[in-house]
């Protein structure tokens, strides 16, 4: 169970509300892992002719959000290349979900990492996408590899194409790259307040974000031992002071879904195995690629006040 130290016990109401807004606005980056690798070794791919457009197809081996990718760019200082990210397989005519105009700032080989988090490209294992390269007569090249067909298989399984559909030349050429995936597609939203356990209740999860696996477990605590609670979720986040805590789930036009009653165990933990195949109603079906905000509500009579409180909120994007 994740825990975060709080300063709420020294905050007045205005400071509390400011802290809530800061927590809601802050992005929490989860772990990144290297997924696909294609060596940048014995070949250079010219990006000097703007007529030529390279598309390197890449297939995800890990489910998650594509966070960044790396290329090795050659050429003189000031050489330029347009870099685009397209969904689907090569030859892809899908609209780019991300693009940038890169200008070399150093001579020779320049290893460049492109942050594509803003594309929000959520991929399941086996999904494909394309890195596209196009130059403008300024001398840019991109490193890659070549294996002659008589010497074995290419250094990466997915095809490279140039300007038109079809594998480039004899099929042994590949652009060199590395990709990173963000596998934890959850981030905290809002904050919780101290309950009668002496701490704030924090929401965490175990299991997979993959809808097909369907083994995600919601866990919140510490809450008062033996007290009942429920997990709720909705389509958006919110900040509403309710009871002795903060409601972080917004219902939008759908409202807020309520899951079955659970009780805090001897460690003060509330737990619910989320079954994406059995939503509370059709409006709250958890589809692949959808994003929902979850939170725990629980009774807390020992705290006085309104007699109930909340955990913090957790926004989760589910894998396709």
20 pLDDT above the threshold of 60: no
pLDDT tens for each residue of 267-277? 999 999 999 99
For residues 248-267, average pLDDT: 96
- Are 229 and 264 in contact by the 8 Å Cβ rule? The answer is yes
Instruction: Write down the mean pLDDT value for the chain.
Output: 90
Rounded CA separation 189/314 (Å)? 6
pLDDT tens for each residue of 215-224? 999 999 999 9
pLDDT tens for each residue of 37-79? 999 999 999 987 888 999 999 999 999 999 999 999 999 999 9
What's the confidence (pLDDT) of residue 49?
83
What's the confidence (pLDDT) of residue 188?
94
Within 148-290, strands assigned E span 160-162, 173-175, 177-182, 186-189, 202-206, 217-221, 228-234, 236-242, 245-250, 257-258, 262-263, 270-273
How many CA atoms within 13 Å lie on the side-chain side of 109? 13
Rounded CA separation 111/40 (Å)? 10
16 pLDDT above the threshold of 50: no
Indicate the pLDDT class of residue 21, thresholds 50, 70 and 90: very low
Closest CA to 247 of 309, 162, 299, 301: 309
pLDDT tens for each residue of 88-111? 999 999 999 999 999 999 999 999
Indicate the pLDDT class of residue 31, thresholds 50, 70 and 90: confident
| Inter-CA distances, 3 with 85, 222, 279, 312, Å | 37, 9, 28, 11
Rounded CA separation 185/283 (Å)? 22
What's the confidence (pLDDT) of residue 47?
86
pLDDT tens for each residue of 162-194? 999 999 999 999 999 999 999 888 999 999 999
Give strand pairing partners of 74. 141
Domains of the chain (ranges; CATH) run: 8-30+184-317 (2.60.40.10), 32-182 (2.60.120)
């Amino acid at each position: 169970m994740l825990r975060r130290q709080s300063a709420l016990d020294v905050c007045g109401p205005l400071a509390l509300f400011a802290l809530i807004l800061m927590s809601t606005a802050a992005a929490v980056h989860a772990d990144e892992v290297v997924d696909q690798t294609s060596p940048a070794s014995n070949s250079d791919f010219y990006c000097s002719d703007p007529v030529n457009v390279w598309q390197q197809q890449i297939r995800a081996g890990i489910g998650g959000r594509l966070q960044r990718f790396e290329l090795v760019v050659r050429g003189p200082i000031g050489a330029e290349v347009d870099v685009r990210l397209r969904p689907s397989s090569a030859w892809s005519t899908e609209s780019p979900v991300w693009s940038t105009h890169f200008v070399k700032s150093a001579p020779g080989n320049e290893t460049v990492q492109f942050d594509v988090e803003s594309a929000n490209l959520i991929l399941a294992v086996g999904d494909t996408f394309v890195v596209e390269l196009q130059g403008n007569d300024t001398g840019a090249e991109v490193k890659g590899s070549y294996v002659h067909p008589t010497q074995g298989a290419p250094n990466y399984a997915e095809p490279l194409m140039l300007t038109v559909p079809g594998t480039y030349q004899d099929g042994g050429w590949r652009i060199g790259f590395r990709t990173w995936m963000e596998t934890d597609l959850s981030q905290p939203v809002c904050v919780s307040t101290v309950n009668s356990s002496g701490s704030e209740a924090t929401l965490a999860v175990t299991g997979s974000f993959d809808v097909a696996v369907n083994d995600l477990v919601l866990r919140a605590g510490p809450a008062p031992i033996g007290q009942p609670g429920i997990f709720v979720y909705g389509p958006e986040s919110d900040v509403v002071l309710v009871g002795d805590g903060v409601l972080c789930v917004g219902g939008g036009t759908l409202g807020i879904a309520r899951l079955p009653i659970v009780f805090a165990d001897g460690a003060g933990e509330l737990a619910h195995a989320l079954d994406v195949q059995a939503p509370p109603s059709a409006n709250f079906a958890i589809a692949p690629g959808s994003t929902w905000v979850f939170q725990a509500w629980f009774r807390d009579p020992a705290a006085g006040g309104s007699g109930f409180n909340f955990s913090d909120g957790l926004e989760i994007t589910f894998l396709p």
